[in-house]
């Protein structure tokens, strides 16, 4: 399907991510209240947290996509399932998810999206979440969703992202990133900047970024509480190609990336700035809008990258003028199902080809002495 025929898909994806982001903002505000965390956060089998927002966003996106494109042949690959939410002891949590979903969907028409005739019941909400059970693959069209990428950052009041992409025959056609805490001031990305109040009426944080494959353009809209913005700003990656001047992003959690290797790599290239450790796909967002130049991730060999953690961010960075490959310089392969199979050592996203080639060269030079 030619990219020019994706107008409805792009428009729907951007609008539903705005709506989903508004749900996240409300849930995160509640998490900041004393003693509220226990009712909103649950641990998964791998001890990673899952929240009301994870399930709520997945339900909203699934329900809206089914309304717009029909549910019969709709394929959605997403992170969460209904197993723990369906258990008897989770009845209270399911009720909280249901309230958050219906509150958000009651405002859907404000975002130019379909709105249910009456509040969805818990069965309908579980059905919407459970619809997202596709495993993707090389053929057909698949929506790929990470409802809250960086849940740990979300729980801690830090950076996180709502990530939605569309893959067709193994190629990412479009991507949308909702970044509700993305700051206007770059320095607030890594240090939090608790006081982000601006002049009356000004938006100091929160945006939605999006891009369509082959357009050569990536866009950013502000997050407006309870509404859809009328304008968008064109994004462009940084022109910095000297490692000495580059800002490098990496994951916060050591379990997800080898900080020692990336530090040694950065040092060998002459990088002088301290790394900017950021939760979630917000790292891709930082590169797309020129707030950082490099994102490097070298996970342990046993760790397998998932497509929903990268698909939306990759297409946005590339259409903004950046480059994303594995550490061997090959394009990421989204055609193998849920995982990024065949990944060579790690992932490198850069603001431009010159900087990217320097990093790839440094990786080859440094790899032999590493223990990854």
The CATH number given to whatever domain includes residue 294 is: 3.40.190.80
**CB-based contact 156:177 (threshold 8 Å):** no
CA distances from 303 to 10, 298, 345 (A): 32, 10, 11
Examine the residue annotation and report whether 54 is marked as an active-site residue of this protein: yes
pLDDT of residue 47: 44
Does 146 show up as a binding residue in the annotation?
A: yes
Q: 197 lies in a domain?
A: no
User: Directed axis angle between helix 7-31 and helix 52-69, to 10°?
Assistant: 160
- pLDDT value at position 251? 85
Catalytic residue among 151, 247, 262, 325: 151
Assess whether 227 and 342 both reside in one domain. Answer: no
CATH number at residue 220: 3.30.540.10
pLDDT value of residue 49: 59
Whether residue 79 is annotated as binding a ligand: the answer is yes
Helix (H) or strand (E) holding 294: strand 294-297
User: What are the C-alpha distances in Å from 206 to residues 8, 136, 191?
Assistant: 24, 30, 16
Q: How many Å apart are CA 9 and CA 322, to the nearest integer?
A: 23
Look up the pTM and report it: 0.92
Please tell me the predicted confidence (pLDDT) of residue 231: 92
Q: Whose structure tokens read 């969805």?
A: 120
Tell whether 220 is covered by a domain. Answer: yes
26 and 138 part of one domain: yes
On whether both 214 and 266 belong to a single domain, the answer is no
Written as tens digits, the pLDDT of the chain (372 aa) is 444 679 999 999 999 999 999 999 999 988 876 655 555 666 655 445 578 999 999 999 999 999 999 988 999 999 999 988 988 888 999 999 999 999 999 999 999 999 999 999 999 999 999 999 999 999 999 999 999 999 889 999 999 999 999 999 999 999 999 999 998 777 777 666 654 444 444 557 999 999 999 999 999 999 998 889 989 999 999 999 999 999 999 888 776 677 788 888 888 888 888 888 899 999 999 999 999 999 999 888 788 999 999 999 999 999 999 999 999 999 999 999 999 999 998 999 999 999 999 999 988 887 766 554
Count of helices and strands (H, E) across the chain: 11, 14
Q: Is residue 226 part of a domain?
A: yes
Bridge-based pairing of strands 276-277 and 248-250 is parallel
Q: Among 176, 211, 235, identify where a domain stops.
A: 235
- pLDDT at position 316 is 98
Q: Is 224 exposed, middle or buried (0-12, 13-18, 19+ CB in 10 A)?
A: middle
Distance of alpha carbon 303 from alpha carbon 318, whole angstroms: 25
Instruction: Pick the catalytic residue from 54, 158, 291, 326.
Output: 54
Q: Would 330 be classed as within a structural domain?
A: yes
Task: Tell me if 108 is assigned to some domain.
Answer: yes
Q: Is 333 annotated as a binding residue?
A: no
The pLDDT of residue 30: 86
What domain range is 223 assigned to? 6-188+203-235
Q: Is 149 annotated as a binding residue?
A: yes
Q: How far is CA 20 from the centre of its chain?
A: 12
Same domain for 27 and 96: yes
227 and 354 together in one domain? no
Give the number of domains in the chain: 2
């Amino acid at each position: 399907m030619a990219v020019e025929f994706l107008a409805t898909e792009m428009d729907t994806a951007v609008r539903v991510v705005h709506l989903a982001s508004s749900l996240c903002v409300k849930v995160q505000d509640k998490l900041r209240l004393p003693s509220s965390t226990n009712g909103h956060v649950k641990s998964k089998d791998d001890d990673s947290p899952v929240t009301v927002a994870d399930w709520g966003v997945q339900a909203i996106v699934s329900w809206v996509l089914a309304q717009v494109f029909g549910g019969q042949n709709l394929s959605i690959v997403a992170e969460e399932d209904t197993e723990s939410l369906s258990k008897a002891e989770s009845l209270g949590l399911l009720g909280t998810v249901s309230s958050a979903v219906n509150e958000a969907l009651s405002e859907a028409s404000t975002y130019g999206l379909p709105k249910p005739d009456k509040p969805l019941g818990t069965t309908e909400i579980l059905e919407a979440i459970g619809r997202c059970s596709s495993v993707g693959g090389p053929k057909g069209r698949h929506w790929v969703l990470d409802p809250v990428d960086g849940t740990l950052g979300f729980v801690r009041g830090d950076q996180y992202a709502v990530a939605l992409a569309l893959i067709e025959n193994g190629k990412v056609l479009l991507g949308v990133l909702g970044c509700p805490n993305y700051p206007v001031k770059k320095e607030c990305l890594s240090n939090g900047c608790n006081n982000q109040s601006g002049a009356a009426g000004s938006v100091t944080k929160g945006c939605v970024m999006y891009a369509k494959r082959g357009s050569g353009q990536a866009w950013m809209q502000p997050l407006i509480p309870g509404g859809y913005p009328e304008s968008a700003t064109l994004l462009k990656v940084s022109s910095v190609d000297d490692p000495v001047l580059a800002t490098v992003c990496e994951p916060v959690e050591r379990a997800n990336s080898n900080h020692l290797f990336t530090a040694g790599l950065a040092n060998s290239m002459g990088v002088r700035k301290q790394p900017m450790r950021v939760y979630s796909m917000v790292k891709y967002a930082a590169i797309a809008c020129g707030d950082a130049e490099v994102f490097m991730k070298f996970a342990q060999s046993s760790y397998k990258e998932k497509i929903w953690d990268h698909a939306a961010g990759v297409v946005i960075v590339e259409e903004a003028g950046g480059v994303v490959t594995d550490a061997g310089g090959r394009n990421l392969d989204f055609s193998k199902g849920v995982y990024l199979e065949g990944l060579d050592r790690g992932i490198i996203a850069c603001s431009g080809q010159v900087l990217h080639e320097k990093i790839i060269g440094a990786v080859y030079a440094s790899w032999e002495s590493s223990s990854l």
